[in-house]
Amino acid sequence: MSEAGPTIRVDKWLWHARFFKTRSLAAKIVQGPGVRINGVRVSKPASPVRAGDVLTFAKDDHVRVIRVEGLGERRGPAPEAQALYTDLDPPQPRERQTPEDRVGGRPTKKDRRATDALKSGTESS
């Protein structure tokens, strides 16, 4: 069962492609919740990855689906890393935080004026 093409370890590829900051974090993700290569769950960081494989893994708060386009020689700059894969995920809508959604933190200028007006109205009574 010899398959053609060069391979690279899945943890090393995830690190090269800048999905994880360190190779040990990438290895931990592969061992923990797991990574799927072409739909098959792998639990060993040394599992081989080839160009054309589809990786599925959890990153932050959603599942990433990535097609491997290249293997890479080193962990280079971001544009070089982005050339190693094609993102198959649908675009995630970003939730914008409106000023009304803020909880805690510093008061806005409007809040301070309202507080000052309340204080000055209370003191004159």
Domain range annotation of the chain: 1-91
Higher per-residue pLDDT: 19 or 1: 19
Is the distance from CB of 87 to CB of 19 less than 8 angstroms? no
pTM over 0.95: no
Question: 18-70, pLDDT tens digit by residue?
Answer: 999 999 999 999 998 789 999 999 999 999 999 999 999 988 888 899 999 99
Question: Rounded to whole angstroms, how far apart are CA atoms 13 and 73?
Answer: 10
Under the banding of pLDDT at 50, 70 and 90, the label for residue 97 is low
What CATH number should be reported for the domain whose range is 1-91? 3.10.290.10
Backbone angles phi, psi at 51, to 5 degrees: -65, 135
Structure token digits, residue 40: 């098959």
